Amino acid sequence: MGSITRSFANNIGSSGILTASAVTNATVEDVTSFDNAASSATLVLLSTQTASASATISFTTGLDSTYDEYIFKFIDIHPATDNAFFTFNMSTDSGSNYNVTKTSSAFRAYHNEADTLTALEYTTADDLAQSTAFQRLLPEIGNANDASASGVLTIFNPSSTTYVKHFISYGNVNHDSNFSINHFIAGYGNTTSAVNAIQFKFSSGNIDDGIIKLYGVKKS
């Protein structure tokens, strides 16, 4: 990375502007390689589950004190039922019950394919206030053959027996009415018990297709 910095510095003109030769394929590849190396050194893939007309997908192992942060990536999640919400809940008893009390907030930005409707808004229907219900992560996903949703859920220090369990989620949805929805949720599980299992499901119908990966984030 030091050689990249020197290369850029050597190509700054007297006016303080980069010369045309400052950015080359080689320097871009170096930056990309550095970024990829950092990413691969940080995330550790723990498990992968693939849906196939699945009522739920549950992760009952892997969430422990090994890592302070865990990341779920959901890839091309496709509902069997049109207009379904992708949801999750936490467990403190290894998956016997998914009923952790949660408080959360939500907002979204959307834009339709016809380029006639756009908005940035708080979504009251997607937040929770001291509720054990499943938390909505991604809204109103279409079940057309090419429709799906993808996103990320991060849970911080789930094994703590001192603090509540913070989570942040974001993703993009191919809405059932042909909207792109960029959706954001954040909140906490209001428990000081260790969270050791996570379950995902749709608000209605099965998870027809899709992949969910669980990663641990290495401690610094």
pLDDT tens column, 39-74: 445 999 999 999 999 999 999 999 999 999 999 999
Q: How confident is the model at residue 32 (pLDDT cuts 50, 70, 90)?
A: very low
Residue 148 and residue 78 share a domain: yes
pLDDT (tens digit per residue) in 94-109: 999 999 999 999 999 9
Buried/exposed code over 42-63 (b: 16+ C-beta within 10 A; e: otherwise): ebeebeebebeebeebbbeebb
Strand partners, 48: 213
Buried/exposed code over 166-203 (b: 16+ C-beta within 10 A; e: otherwise): bbebbbebbbbeebebebbbebbbebebbbbbbbbbbb
Instruction: Tell me how far the alpha carbon of residue 1 is from its chain's centroid.
Output: 29
Residue 37 and residue 49 share a domain: no
What lies within 8 Å, CB to CB, of 61 at 6+ separation is 47
Query: What pLDDT is stored for residue 11 in this prediction?
Result: 54
Residue 61 and residue 29 share a domain: no
Residue 61 and residue 6 share a domain: no
Strand order in the sheet with 197-202: 57-59, 197-202, 84-91, 135-141
Give the amino acid at 114: A
Query: What pLDDT is stored for residue 31 in this prediction?
Result: 41
Residue 34 and residue 57 share a domain: no
Domain count, the chain: 2
Query: What pLDDT is stored for residue 21 in this prediction?
Result: 52
Residue 90 and residue 194 share a domain: yes
Q: How confident is the model at residue 10 (pLDDT cuts 50, 70, 90)?
A: low
CB atoms within 10 A of CB 6: 10
- Residue 9: give the domain boundaries: 2-41
At residue 145, φ and ψ (nearest 5 deg) are: -55, -30
- pTM for the model stands at 0.80
Residue 175 and residue 101 share a domain: yes
Residue 75 and residue 96 share a domain: yes
Query: What pLDDT is stored for residue 193 in this prediction?
Result: 98
Q: What is the CATH number of the domain that holds 190?
A: 2.60.120
